[in-house]
Structure formats: structure tokens, C-alpha cells
Amino acid sequence: MAHKIGVGVLISGGGTNLQAIIDSSESNRLDARVVFVASDNPGAYGLKRAKKHGIPTFVVDYQAIIKETRGKPLEDLVPKDFDLETVLAKQHVSFPSSDPMKVERYFRTRAIAEAALLREMGAYPFDLLVLAGFMRILTPYFIDRVNTDPSQPRIMNIHPSLLPSFPGSDGYGDTYRYGCKVGGCTVHFVDYGEDTGSIIGQKAFEITPDDTIDTVREKGLKLEWQLYPECIQLLAENRLMV
């Protein structure tokens, strides 16, 4: 058996991709070991899946942090090493509001949450961080502290569409509503944009006239469960060039 890389997983919900990664790891189809599972959502079912397999878990409750900081000045709450100008210059996510005050507040609250995440993650050394249904955007503050060597990105995400089509929060829904005849899923490295990082792998499926939004999601998810372990294995075998 080859050396196993350590994988940290971030989730927000059901965790079926997490389960596929755990199962591939436990059956030695994947040279990786899940070393922690973290969620922004305390109710995420994926946390229970992790516990069943004896994997350490923790929660950084973004919603609670956003609520607790509402209306408060954030300058004293942001991490000491947070620099707003740097983050604003690097990020390229489009926001519904162009109000600079709102955008600044967004990055400050996220830095507070991300600093908590980084602190907790510090207890579990990892080679790769995998986003598996993690419904939060990671900002340059966080990304730069994980990708300490810019030539070796080490955050992956799975997205429910054939990128670069249909980035955003409802890839399968957007694919189906557009009337596409082919849908798919994509694993990519995470960069400073939303679903814009370089593509590692994709799988596609046909959408027929009988399909509904539910069957499209089912077809897509089944492919995700194959694709994610395959892409992690490529990194474990050092076969990914950037």
C-alpha cells in the first residue's frame, strides 16, 4: 500500500460525497485517510457519518458568527493578520451588492469565521483540503493560509455542473432549467473566484425528455461519488500538474 495522504473535509449538509471518500479510503481504493471533518452547519448530517467512522469533527457556526457580530464594529474582532486591502485586491467573486461597506463587512465576518476554522484545523495536519458540499465561499485570507506554496494548490471542490457553465449554488437546477441535453459534475482547485479554479476532472451524463430535476440530481450525484475519489487519487499519486 502506498503512503496515504491526509485529507480534511469541509461539509455543510448530507455528506454523500464525504461518505464516498471515506468508503474509498477504507476499502483501500484511495491512498488517502480522512483526518477531520468540519462543518459550518451544526446540523449537517455528514458530521454523524464522520463520527460513525471514528473521524474527528468540529463545527464553526458561520451563521452564529454573522448573527453575533451584527451591528458591532469588527475592527477589533478580525484576526490580527487580516488585511482588508490585500483580500479585496485578490478576490474575484461577484456580489449581489456593490455597496463597499457591505462588501467590506462580508470579508471581515468571513475572516473571523475562517480564522476559527484555521485554528481548529491546526490540530489535524493534512495534505489536502476537500470541500464536499461546503456551501460557503472561502476568501483569499483562508486560501493563502492553506496554500502556503502557491505552486501546490491543496484545496479541491466538487461542483454540480460542467464548469465553466453554471457556477453558483444550484448547478444541476440551472443545467436542467436551461434545457441542456448533457449535465455533469466538475472537480477543480479552489482559487479566489467562485467555481473558477483549474479543472481536475469532469464526468457527464445525458439528460433525456423523461428526466426531472430530481433524476438529474440523482444522475449527477452518482457520478460525483466516482469522480471525487478519482481526483483525490490523482493528487495522492502526484499526477496533477498546475
Residues of this chain that bind ligand GRF (CB under 6 A): 11, 13-18, 46, 132-133, 158-160, 185, 221, 224
Q: How far is the CB of 158 from ligand GRF (least distance, A)?
A: 5
DSSP secondary structure letter of residue 124: S
Nearer to ligand GRF by C-beta: 133 or 201?
Answer: 133
CB of residue 201 vs ligand GRF: minimum separation in angstroms? 13
DSSP state for residue 118 in the 8-state scheme: H
Tell me how far the alpha carbon of residue 37 is from its chain's centroid: 12
Beta carbon nearer to ligand GRF, 78 or 161: 161
17 vs 25, which CB is nearer to ligand GRF? 17
Integer Cα distance of 176 and 204 in angstroms: 13
What is the DSSP secondary-structure string of 86-103? HHHHH-B---S---HHHH
Where would I find the H helices in the chain?
Answer: 16-26, 45-52, 62-69, 84-90, 100-121, 140-146, 171-178, 213-236
**Which residue is closest to ligand GRF by CB?**
133
Question: By C-beta, is 140 or 184 nearer to ligand GRF?
Answer: 184
Q: In a 3-state reduction of DSSP, which class is residue 42? A: coil
Strand partners, 38: 10, 58
Annotate 167-199 with b (16+ C-beta within 10 A) or e (fewer).
beeebbbbbbeeebeebbbbbbbbbbebbbbee
3-state helix, strand, coil in the chain (%, to 5): 40, 20, 40
Answer yes or no: are the C-beta atoms of 42 and 62 closer than 8 Å: no
Shortest CB 49 distance to ligand GRF, Å: 10
Active-site hit among 3, 92, 159, 188: 159
Q: H or E segment at 189?
A: strand 182-189
Q: Which is nearer to ligand GRF, 40 or 115 (by Cβ)?
A: 40
Q: Is there a catalytic annotation at residue 159?
A: yes
Give me the active site residues, please: 159
